[in-house]
Amino acid sequence: MATLKEPVTKTYYCRKHGKICKPLFSIFSWWERYSKDTVKRLQEFEKLRTDTLQVCLQGDARNIDIFAVLEKKNSEFADLVKGQKIKGIFSSPPYVGLIDYHEQHAYAYDLFGFKRNDELEIGPLYKGQGKEARNSYIEGIAQVLNNSKKYLQNDYDIFLVANDKYNMCPSIAEKSGMKIVNRYKRPVLNRTEKNKSAYAEIIFHLKEK
C-alpha cells in the first residue's frame, strides 16, 4: 500500500499487517493521535537536549559557500567553523531515479513558504535510472563532496547511506579524491511495499585518498 497505482475505496488484504484493513475515511483520529505523540516527543526532547547549536542551511550543496552563508546567520559561529573547520559528514543522499523528493515534501514548501528548487535536484525521478541518469548522478554527488572538502578538517570522515545497487559509490569516491575505508550493512525491515524481497542499505565510510 506504500505506492498506490489507483485509489483504494474498500477493504483490502494488507501485506504489512497480514490481515484485512480498510482505507481511512476520516483523518481526525490519526490527527489526534499524532498531535498527542508530537507533544509527548517534544516534552521528552526538552528533558534530553543539550546546550548545543544547530544551524540549517538551504542551498545547492554542489556550490554553496558554507562560510559566507553562516556569516549571515551567526557571525560568531562562522568564525568558529572557519577556525576549527568541520570534522565530517553523515548524509543519506537522494537515490537515483527513485523518489520525487520535492513532491514528497510538498506540504513543507506550502506550510513554510520555502522556495522549490526542483531543477537542482540530484538524481530526480523523472530522469529515471538509465546510464545517462546514473552518470549525471555520480557527477552531482562528486561535486557535492568536492565542494564540501574545503570546509572539512584534514582527517575528515564522511558516512553516506546508500542502496548502491548500481555500484556507483566507488566512482563517486574516485571523482572526489576519496577512498572507501569501510562498509556497514544496514537491513531495512518492515517494508510496506508489495515487493518484500531482501533489501539492505550500505553505510559507506569515506576518507581522503
Band the pLDDT of 1: cuts 50, 70, 90: very low
Percent of the chain with pLDDT over 70: 93
Band the pLDDT of 193: cuts 50, 70, 90: low
Could you give phi then psi for residue 152, rounded to 5 degrees?
-100, 155
For residues 208 and 145, the answer to whether their CB atoms sit within 8 Å is no
Average pLDDT over all residues of the chain:
91
CA pair distance 151, 66, nearest whole angstrom: 8
pLDDT at 25: 83
CA pair distance 6, 127, nearest whole angstrom: 23
Question: All 3 cell numbers of residue 121?
Answer: 535536484
Write down the pTM of the prediction. Answer: 0.80
CA pair distance 49, 20, nearest whole angstrom: 41
Question: All 3 cell numbers of residue 183?
Answer: 562498509
Q: What would the pLDDT profile of 83-101 be if each residue is shown by its tens digit? A: 999 999 999 999 999 999 9
